Amino acid sequence: MANNTNLSASLNLTQLDFFGLKNSFKNYLRGQAQFKDYDFDGSAFNVLIEELAYNTYKNAFMSNMLMSEGFIDSAQLRTSLFSHSKELNYLPRSKRSARATVAVTFEASGVSQPYTIPKGAQFSTLIKSESYTFTMPETLSVASANTTFAFTTDIFEGVFVSDSFVFLGSPNQRFKLTNKNVDTSSVAVTVYEDGSQIGNIFKVATTLLDLTEFSKVFFLQTSETGNYEIYFGDDVLGRKPKLNSTVVVEYRVSSGTKGNGARVFSVDFDPTSSNELLATPKITTIEASKSAAEEEDNESIRYYAPRAFQVQERAVTTTDYEIALKADILVETGKDAEAIALLTNMARVVGSSVGRGRRIIKVIVGAR
């Protein structure tokens, strides 16, 4: 049989199309005479050719996809973009909760004042007939000389959840946040060491500058599954928790932009915590909910990650400031205070004013 074989034609397998590959196999087989039925769809040989073509097609597709995912310009999977962002020291923005400002007034006997209103106290609202929960970001203490109590607070859409972990001593240990809808600006980490009931509060580190082995910080990054995760220092840059410490990560789970536009709120908790209310609390909405954001989309990551790396947390040109602002916070949604705070870290802010519907922040470039 082998004597009659003349498979001199080269086998071209560079195509990405199934039928193109199948034709390549057929052309290759034209150089032999033992099997003539490869060109008929019903033949056994044709089944084999199709299997080969399909396998080659899958391999070619796989190679193409792997190469695509290997570069930030062509990556399609979000987890691949997260990985590329990590190389560039860029943290893709998570969902951001809508923020509203309310003034609460309530009548109470005041027997056990000052009243402590805990972080996470809930307010309800309806947006487009759907119920949403807003929560307080910090604990608040309220006192009064008479029976009328009042406080004003920002409230954020979403409820707080917490994940608990045990620190096993390895600096490589990652603590993955279980909920993908986390608002990373709300992440709070408390570490309970030596079985203590009093926790050490660790703060998020966004830079390595000024970190020591005593700094109680944690680092936030994206994981290979698309969740956010935290990790601690190694006793060189950031303090490492003690072995077998309990790590509690508390964060707000956001609905993103769905939380925008709430105007009427109701209180879901007893501000006195001890049934001392004399009447139903009254709520005045000072500012309707706004400033929410969805998680950063792929194109935005693709654009900002290399540029944030280029800026390197420094700001020299005006473009640097624009990139720093757009990457970290959404200026266009009205977070003026955050924008000014961010700029203050990088330059000397000499003025801020509102003109033509836009906030204008004047800085001296290159000065701090």
Partner 1 sequence: MATTSRADKFTITSKQVEYYSDFLIDLDKNPLTGYLARVTNEESVKQAVKLLLLTERTERFFQPWMGSKLNGLLFEPNLPTTNIQIDQEVRMTLKNCEPRVKVEDVVVTNGQDRDVNDTYVTVVFSINNIPNKTFTTDVVLNRLR
Binding footprint of partner 1 on the chain (CB under 8 A): 1, 18-19, 34-37, 40-45, 47, 50, 54
Tell the smallest beta-carbon distance from residue 241 to partner 1 (Å).
54
Q: How far apart are CA 310 and CA 308, in angstroms?
A: 5
Query: Closer CB to partner 1, residue 15 or residue 101?
Result: 15
Kindly state the smallest distance separating residue 44's Cβ from partner 1, in Å: 5
Tokens linked to 232: 């601690």
- The sign one gets for the Cα dihedral 312, 318, 321, 322 is negative
CB contact at 8 A, 285 and 100? yes
Contact partners, residue 163, CB within 8 Å, separation at least 6 = 175, 176, 177, 178, 248, 249
**CB-wise, 1 or 145, nearer to partner 1?**
1
| Residue 17 C-beta: closest distance to partner 1, Å | 9
Q: Which is nearer to partner 1, 36 or 282 (CB)?
A: 36
The secondary structure element, H or E, covering residue 138 is none
Least CB distance from residue 50 to partner 1, whole Å? 6
Name the minimum Å distance from CB 3 to partner 1. 10
Please tell me whether residue 124 adopts helix, strand or coil conformation: strand
End-to-end CA distance of the chain: give it in Å, rounded: 84
Minimum Å gap between C-beta 31 and partner 1 is 15
Q: Is 323 exposed, middle or buried (0-12, 13-18, 19+ CB in 10 A)?
A: middle
Q: Which of 19/71 has CB closer to partner 1?
A: 19
- DSSP structural state of residue 366: T
CB of residue 207 to partner 1, shortest distance in Å: 52
Quote the Cα angle for 186-189-193, to 5°. 170
Give the tokens for residue 237.
């840059």
Q: Are 224 and 208 in contact (CB under 8 A)?
A: no
Chain centroid, CA 153 distance in Å: 25
* 15 or 79: CB nearest partner 1: 15
CB of 27 to partner 1, least distance (A): 18
Helix, strand, coil % (nearest 5) of the chain? Answer: 25, 30, 45
Structure tokens at 112: 């056990």
Tell how far CA 158 is from the center of its chain. Answer: 15
